[in-house]
Amino acid sequence: MTKLFKLTAIAEGISYLVLFFNMLVIKPSNTDLYKTLLFPIGMAHGLLFIGYVALAFVIYKSQHWSLKELAIVQLASLLPFATFYVEKKYVTNA
């Protein structure tokens, strides 16, 4: 389960950055491409976000996280690059 969480954390972080790239770079230059990409990128990111949050609760006990650490892991899903940090710092190979 830990390996699945690590993969989800990385994929969620990448999808977040791709979503920002679509909004900040592609939208100003090509509105039609932006609209075409928005739904699939947004859907993928949404599913990965839900998976990240759910898996964090699932492995909370096995990783022996305190409530503070769980809160940090959950808040990391809202910040760009933070899921990469969580994946390295808080998830051990148990």
Give the model's pLDDT for residue 49. Answer: 94
Predicted pLDDT of residue 14: 93
Can you give the pLDDT at residue 29? 84
**Mean pLDDT per segment of 10 residues, for the chain of length 94 residues?**
89 92 84 86 94 93 90 90 87 68
pLDDT of residue 44: 94
Which helix (H) or strand (E) element contains residue 44? Answer: helix 31-59
- Taking CA atoms, 24 is separated from 10, 30, 36, 92, in Å, by 21, 11, 15, 34
Q: Kindly report the number of other CB atoms within 10 A of residue 30's CB atom.
A: 12
CB 20, CB 80: distance < 8 Å: yes
Question: How remote is the C-alpha of 1 from its chain's centroid?
Answer: 16
